[in-house]
Amino acid sequence: MIEFSLDTRSGVSPYLQVVHQVRRALRLGLLVEGDQLPTVKDVVASLAINPNTVLKAYRELERDGLVAARPGVGTFVTRTLADSTLAAHEPLRRDLARWLAKARLAGLDEESIEALFASTFRDVNEESA
Amino acid sequence: MNAVVAAHGLGKQYRRRWALRDCTLEIPTGRVTGLVGPNGAGKTTLLNLAVGILSPTVGTIEVCGGRPAASSAQLAKVGFVAQDTPTYAGLTIADHLRLGAHLNPRWDQAAARRRIDRLGLDQRQKAGRLSGGQRAQLALTLGLAKRPELLVLDEPVASLDPLARREFLQVLMEAVAEEEISVLLSSHVVSDLERVCDHAVVLVDSQVRVAGDVDRLLATHHRLSGPRRDPDSLPADQHVVWASHTDRQSTYVVRTESRVLDPSWSTTPLGLEDLVLAYMEGSAPAVQSSPELEVIP
The interface predicted TM-score (ipTM) is 0.71
H helix or E strand, kind and range, residue B61: strand B58-63
How many Å apart are CA A31 and CA B75, to the nearest integer?
48
Q: Answer whether residue B153 is part of any domain.
A: yes
How many Å apart are CA B194 and CA B217, to the nearest integer?
12
Same-domain status, B196 and B230: no
Q: Answer whether residue A92 is part of any domain.
A: yes
φ, ψ dihedrals at B264, nearest 5°: -75, -15
For residue A62, give the CATH number of its domain. Answer: 1.10.10.10
What average pLDDT score do residues B109-117 get?
93
Same-domain status, B201 and B224: no
Residues of chain A with C-beta less than 8 angstroms from the C-beta of B218 = 11-13
Q: Which residue of A has its CA nearest to B213?
A: A13
Looking at the 3D structure of chain B, how many domains does it have? 2
The pLDDT, as a whole number, for residue B287 is 37
Same-domain status, B18 and B52: yes
Is residue B296 pLDDT above 50, yes or no? no
Same-domain status, A59 and A106: no
Residues A101-121 have pLDDT tens digits of 999 999 999 999 998 998 888
Q: Answer whether residue A46 is part of any domain.
A: yes
How many Å apart are CA A50 and CA A55, to the nearest integer?
9
Same-domain status, A73 and A89: no
Testing the interface with B: which of A52, A60, A121 to mutate, by most B Cβ within 10 A? A52
Same-domain status, A24 and A62: yes
Using CB atoms within 10 Å of the CB of residue B181, give its burial: 0 to 12 exposed, 13 to 18 middle, 19+ buried.
buried
Final residue of a structural domain among B156, B173, B205: B205
Residues B148-160 have pLDDT tens digits of 999 999 999 988 8
Whole-angstrom CA distances from A79 to A82, A83, B56, B135 are 9, 10, 56, 47
Same-domain status, A108 and A61: no
Contact B177 A51 (CB under 8 A): yes
B 207-266: CB under 8 A from A: 214-215, 218-219
Whole-angstrom CA distances from B31 to A37, A53, B238 are 24, 10, 28
Can you tell me whether residue B63 is helix, strand or coil?
strand
Final residue of a structural domain among B205, B237, B257: B205
What is chain A's Cα-based Rg? 19
Same-domain status, B25 and B156: yes
Q: Answer whether residue B213 is part of any domain.
A: no
Write the single-letter amino acid at B242: W
The pLDDT, as a whole number, for residue B289 is 33
Same-domain status, B179 and B33: yes
Residues A14-65 have pLDDT tens digits of 889 999 999 999 888 888 899 999 999 889 988 889 999 999 999 999 999 9
Residues of chain A with C-beta less than 8 angstroms from the C-beta of B169 = 48
Final residue of a structural domain among A62, A77, A92: A77
Q: Answer whether residue A5 is part of any domain.
A: no
Final residue of a structural domain among A58, A77, A96: A77
Same-domain status, B155 and B185: yes
φ, ψ dihedrals at B120, nearest 5°: 75, 30
Of A13, A41, A45, the CB nearest to B218: A13
Final residue of a structural domain among A77, A97, A112: A77
Same-domain status, A19 and A44: yes
The answer to whether the beta carbons of residues B201 and B33 sit under 8 Å apart is yes
Write the single-letter amino acid at B256: T
Same-domain status, A72 and A92: no
Same-domain status, A67 and A106: no
Residues B116-147 have pLDDT tens digits of 999 999 999 999 999 999 999 999 999 999 99
Same-domain status, A73 and A88: no
Q: Which domain does A23 fall in, by range?
A: 14-77
Same-domain status, B98 and B223: no
For residue B29, give the CATH number of its domain. Answer: 3.40.50.300
What average pLDDT score do residues B198-220 get?
91
Same-domain status, A88 and A64: no
Q: Answer whether residue A2 is part of any domain.
A: no
Looking at the 3D structure of chain A, how many domains does it have? 2
Q: Which domain does B249 fall in, by range?
A: 219-294
Q: Answer whether residue A3 is part of any domain.
A: no
Q: Answer whether residue A107 is part of any domain.
A: yes
Same-domain status, B173 and B249: no
Q: Answer whether residue A59 is part of any domain.
A: yes
Same-domain status, A30 and A63: yes
Residues of chain B with C-beta less than 8 angstroms from the C-beta of A41 = 174, 177-178
Same-domain status, A22 and A60: yes
